[in-house]
Structures are given as structure tokens and as C-alpha cells.
Structure 1
Amino acid sequence: MEEQLPEPLRAVEHELGALLRRGRAISWEIAREVHPNLEPNAYGLLLWLRRSGSTRLTDLAVRLGIGKGTLSRQIHSLEALGLVRREPDPSDRRAAQISLTDEGTRRFDAARASRLGQIRQTLESWSPEDIEDFGRLLRRFNDAFL
């Protein structure tokens, strides 16, 4: 028998599930906007690279919570698409620095602008205070997993 959860917790579970399903669908759309052969889960990787500029492969693996081997395979496929470049780390030649190529930046920025437009349209009827609260609560929720 299913555990009896308080209604507010069930509501959060339901809405989070809906958000995750919608997020997966949007990830597919955005990934295809960046490049027709881009895997949907690679969008988050591109986002981190766009925010951080050049970063070490090992630091990125730790930040994303994935193994170096898995990340290296993902980076390899992004390199093959011309979206990412891997260069030796000047402070440690055994390590690699990863960054977006100019083409990767251009494609990512165009897809992100489209996504932000969708978010802006969705939230246009919300008050600025509600949008601020929503962002703050999402950050708090996400930070709880770090």
C-alpha cells in the first residue's frame, strides 16, 4: 500500500514530475536547435561551458557529478560536431581545458534566446515579485541536492 503523504508534498511531487517531463521535451527541442545531431542531455553541458568559459575536464566532471570517462565521451561527440574544443591546460599539460568554439557559442546563444523567449512569454502575466520568488525557491530546491 502506498504511503500516505501530506497533500502539499503530493502536490510538489506531481508538479515536479510535470516540470521534468516538460523539461525533457524542451531539451530535445533546444538540442535540435543547437545542432540536429546533438544529444538532448548535452544542452546542460553546453550551458556550463557557456557560463564558465574555459574549464578543466576534471573540474567540469566534478561540477556536473558525472565520471570523467562519461564526460570525455560527451565532449568527444561535441568536438565532432564542431561545438566544443579541447586544449591542453597551460598549468598542467596532462589536463585538458574545454571550451565552446565560436560556432558552438553562436548556436548555443541562438537556441538559448529562443528558450528564454518562451520562458518570458510563459511568465509575462506573473508579477516581478512572483518571478523573483519562483527563481529563489527553485535555486533553494536545487542547492539542496549539492
Structure 2
Amino acid sequence: MGADVHGNGTAKDPGPAGGSGVDHEFLALERELAVFLRRARASSGEMAREVHPELEPAAYGLLVRLDENNCQRATELAAYFGVGKATISRQLRALEELGLVTREPDPADGRASLVRITDEGRARFRRVRDARRERYVQKLADWDRAEVAELARLLHHLNARAES
């Protein structure tokens, strides 16, 4: 029998008329992820506007990835985020028009281009990222560093599963 999650009773209920039952742990996970994702979307919108008033919230994640990896092909970005090439192209075009990214020929394949964050894009992004990190530090000030590391590890593990 699994552990009680958020005081919801036993780990499994019999379910309707002899059904297979409900895993409260997974219901709790779904509920908490839904709240987390809704708040994360709202936060991404705010951060995107802080980087540039015309920046789409979804494009903020592209800046995160480009800051970490220096440069990448659009197809690599699309694969990483699990979106289509058209979506990435539209977002990159908007970032390029705002002066936050630039494209350059890929030396390994002249038909392709590499997307790179500009110096201005990096400065704007890092200012916002650092402010966000400081908010995390304040919100989790009463957490042990090992708990923060464990949360990061578990989220990484969840993200890696979502990729495959």
C-alpha cells in the first residue's frame, strides 16, 4: 500500500463498481503539476516582458537554451522543446527582429544556419534570470540545500522522461 498523499486517505480507492482503483499519488502529482505549470506560464509571461515588452512568453525558453548552449540549429531547438519547425521559425524570427538573436551560417553545413543569442539578448536575459533566481532563493529560504538539489534532480528526471 502506497503512502498517504496530502491526507487524501488510502493510497488506492476501489473506484466505481469494481474498477481498478485510483492512484492518489498520481492524482496528487497531476494536481500539483497543473498548479505549477499554470504559475510557470504566468511567470514566463512576466519575465518575457521584462526581457523585452514585445517578447512572447514561449520565446523566453529559447533564450534560456541559447544562453546555456551558445548556438544551435533551429531543428535542434524544435526537437528539444518538442514543437514543430514552423513554431520555432516564427519564434526565432520574432527574437531576431527584436535584436535578441542572430543567425549565422553553420560551418558544418552551409545550407543550415546556427542561431546565437546576441550580446544585448544575453544581457537582458541574464538580468531577468538573475532576478528570478533571487525570487527562488527567497521563496525557498527555509529549505535545506539538499532539498532544493533533490527537487532539481527530480524535475530533470521528469523532463528527461518527457523527451523520450
Q: Does 1:53 align with 2:70?
A: yes
Q: Does 1:93 align with 2:93?
A: no
Task: Please say if 1:5 is aligned against 2:22.
Answer: yes
SS in 2 for 1:134: helix
Shift of 1:114: 0.9
Deviations 1:1-43 (A, max 9, x none): 9885222222111111110111011001100110000000111
Deviations 1:88-110 (A, max 9, x none): 11221110110011110000000
Question: Which residue does 1:40 correspond to in 2?
Answer: 57
Q: Counterpart in 1 of 2:47? A: 30
Q: Which has the greater radius of gyration? A: 2
Tell me how far apart the structure 2 counterparts of residues 28 and 85 of structure 1 sit (CA, whole Å).
Answer: 22
> What secondary structure, in the 3-state scheme, does the structure 2 residue paired with 1:114 have?
helix
Deviation at 1:57, TM superposition (A): 1.9
Letter in 2 for 1:119: Y
Partner of residue 117, structure 1: 134
Q: Which runs of 5+ in 1 are unaligned?
A: none
1:129 match: 146
> Aligned partner of 1:37: which letter?
E
Q: Secondary structure at the match of 2:22?
A: coil
Q: Indicate the structure whose relative CO is greater, using CA pairs within 8 Å and at least 6 residues apart.
A: 1
Normalising by structure 2, report the TM-score. Answer: 0.83
CA separation in 2, counterparts of 1:61 and 1:21?
Answer: 22
- SS of structure 2 residue aligned to 1:19: helix
Runs of 4+ in structure 1 off by over 3 angstroms are 1-4
Please list every run of 5 or more consecutive structure 2 residues that lacks an aligned counterpart in the other structure.
Answer: 1-14
User: 1:38 is paired with a residue of what secondary structure?
Assistant: coil
Quote the sequence identity (%): 45
> How do 1:65-104 residues align onto structure 2 when only pairs under 5 Å count?
65-104=82-121
2:11 paired residue number? none
